[in-house]
Amino acid sequence: MQSVIERFIRYIKIDTQSIHKSTTYPSTAKQLNLARLLVDELQELGLKDAAMDGFGYVTATLPANIDRTGVPVIGFLAHMDTSPDLSGTNVNPQFIEDYDGGVITLNAEKGILMDPEEFPDLKKYIGKTLITTDGTTLLGADDKAGIAEIMAAVEYLLEHPEIPHGTIKIGFTPDEEVGAGVDHFDVEAFGADFAYTIDGGEIGQVQYENFNAAGAELTIHGRNVHPGTSKLKMRNALLIGMELNELLPVFERPEHTEKYEGFYHLFQFGGSVEEASMTYIIRDHDRARFEQKKTLLGKAVDYINAKYGEKIIDLKLVDQYYNMRQQVEPHPQIMDIAIRAIQAVGLTPIVDPVRGGTDGSRLSYMGLPTPNLFTGGHYAHGKYEFIPTFAMEKAVEVLVKIAELAATE
């Protein structure tokens, strides 16, 4: 049996970074390199229907090993792409064995350190083995750890037929990091009654709530005149963008929020005096507050347009996904199984909201209730990403136990 760690290291060596605003699906062809490898590995394990479709989705079925009626078909899903925020090329993982609680040197040449005073989650893993980056790329635990954990759990179940389980559906998706992970996913063909994405963070975490999300694109039309003769003529699109941003609540920015607090996040702003563009994401767990945030942004745009006497800001505001809680709560057994599985392997469940989105949020609204389980990773999307090896091993145990509990209820 291959260890989950062996699989993880193999998968992170394959660059699968997705990109925004692509004209193809998946957004990058290199994601298919991992997809093809996973199909081969699933087939080698004996899952004869393992295949990749025309959109890059990898699916497979682990048949039930019991003959009982009423056993639900469950799905395990993870995404293959890594974030556009930092390179996933030439990932060079480092193993920090028996971590002593001190500062970790990620890259001595570049002076990149990881201090537990700045990254306090490190303090939870004194005495454990950590996998870190070399300070030049992200690690890829989001979500190749999830893929490795699913693959290891499938292999374990095949090698231990004494553990009863129903039919298990496996799904690996592209482009989750750019919000398009399930754009073409066929829920009906997948055939699960409910599912879990393995795409969370800290060990023990299980999540059935996520943000309601919208994206806003603003185009600001300025007027450029030579600055030497611009009095009462120039209209600086960049300054108008700054003026608009100051109309939004300062303490509802990501750097001032946590837990159930939503935010406005300006993550792209550029252009010239003549024309500028701004891109926001708007997030809130509460649907009413989410709608209020969108309304306030619209009012800010209206105010600026009224102030300048014409429509100088164009706003395109689009909802992206919604809080899965409304779709998962009517099926309490899904969370109950996950919580009891986590407890059964000796962990304390951490039920907290996703401060982001997962494929599961959209799948839940497509008719497949899909809460989110931990991978064990921390500080995703950047060079400080790390994952404890024992957390990955525990994640495998949880998946195996979920399969058993779902079959023996």
Q: Which long-range contacts (CB under 8 A, 24 or more apart) does 61-65 make?
A: 61/167, 61/168, 61/169, 61/170, 61/191, 62/154, 62/157, 62/158, 62/165, 62/167, 62/168, 62/169, 62/170, 63/167, 64/165, 64/166, 64/167, 64/407, 65/161, 65/164, 65/165
26: preceding bond cis by omega (within 30 degrees): yes
Total-model pTM: 0.91
Residue 179 has a pLDDT of 87
β 372-373/386-388 pair status: unpaired
Task: Flag whether 177 is marked binding.
Answer: yes
Domains along the sequence of the chain with CATH: 4-210+323-408 (3.40.630.10), 213-321 (3.30.70.360)
pLDDT tens-digit readout, 1-56: 679 999 999 999 999 999 988 999 999 999 999 999 999 999 999 999 999 999 99
Ranges of residues in the chain whose predicted pLDDT is under 70: 1
Known binding residue 199? Answer is: yes
Predicted confidence at residue 386, as pLDDT, reads 98
pLDDT at 317: 98
Cα 257 vs. chain centroid, distance in angstroms? 19
Q: What is the pLDDT of residue 149?
A: 98
Q: Is the peptide bond before 359 cis (omega within 30 degrees of 0)?
A: no
Residues with catalytic function: 81, 176
Within 10 A of 196 (CB to CB), how many other CB atoms are there?
28
pLDDT at position 208 is: 96
What spatial distance separates the first Cα and last Cα of the chain, rounded to whole Å? 28
Distances (CA, A) of 43 to 39, 141, 162: 6, 24, 22
Determine whether the annotation assigns residue 79 to a binding site.
yes
Give per-residue pLDDT as tens, 200-257: 999 999 999 999 999 999 999 999 999 999 999 999 999 999 999 999 999 999 999 9
Predicted pLDDT of residue 85? 93
**Residue 1: its pLDDT value, please?**
61
